[in-house]
Amino acid sequence: MSKRLALSLAMLLASGCSRAEYVKDGVATDEGIAAIALPKEQYREMLKRTFLGTTTGPMTLGVLGLEKGCDVLDEAVEAAVAQNLAQWRANLIAAYRNNVPPDQLAEAVQKSPRRARAMLQPHLSSIGDRMKRSSQSLLQQSGVQVMQAASAEAQKVDLASIDMQARQRELDETKASGEICGVRRWQQQ
């Protein structure tokens, strides 16, 4: 499933839920905050960007080939998400609660994620800073987990059996398109 399709599906599911469930006694619920913050989608994106932002990540994709490499990356990311999403979600919800006035947060959770983001724009930097402080070690540990899983698959490949120059060209062309493994505007650091 493409990232765009998954995000659209998540938005549809969120919009299908009663917005009344997102506010209780005038306070945004955890479910309401999660509906606008999209922790699962954010965590997946961060893990993929972390992987692709290393030297080893693109090399691994080159060894595996893009199609298989992206599949392996997706599987590794899903394993890390399954293991750590509860903590990531709790950290993200806390970042919103600690940086947005309660009345604004209650109003925002009753909107679509895009409209909520626009409404909360003045607070996003503070939310991001808080999230970085509370989740940096979790992201590092998860990133290592993803890298190890992908690298283990790459080590199974007989390098003599592949044309690395062709794989590098494929990777370069894909990077030039602005999207790789479902991540847009990706650049190697």
Count of CB atoms situated within 10 Å of the CB of 116: 23
The per-residue pLDDT for range 25-40, each reduced to its tens digit, is 999 999 999 999 999 9
> Which tokens is 34 given?
């999660």
Q: What is the mean pLDDT of the chain?
A: 89
pLDDT score recorded for residue 27: 95
> Which tokens is 139 given?
């992201």
Check if the beta carbon of residue 122 is closer than 8 Å to that of residue 36.
Answer: no
> Which tokens is 123 given?
């607070």
The per-residue pLDDT for range 85-126, each reduced to its tens digit, is 999 999 999 999 999 999 999 999 999 999 999 999 999 999
The radius of gyration of the chain from alpha carbons, rounded to an integer in Å, stands at 19
Q: Give mean pLDDT, residues 70-97.
A: 98
Count of CB atoms situated within 10 Å of the CB of 180: 24
pLDDT score recorded for residue 164: 87
pLDDT-derived band of residue 16, with 50, 70 and 90 as boundaries? very low
Domain ranges within the chain, ordered by starting residue: 3-184
Looking at the DSSP bridge assignments, the partners of residue 180 are: 183
4, pLDDT greater than 60: no
Give the Cα separation of 146 and 95 in Å (integer).
25
The per-residue pLDDT for range 142-188, each reduced to its tens digit, is 999 999 999 999 999 999 999 989 988 888 888 788 888 989 865 54
Strands (E) located in 26-182:
27-28, 179-180
User: Could you say which DSSP state residue 111 is in?
Assistant: S
**What is the pTM assigned to this prediction?**
0.83
Residue whose entry in the numeric block shows the structure tokens 């750590």: 84
pLDDT score recorded for residue 83: 97
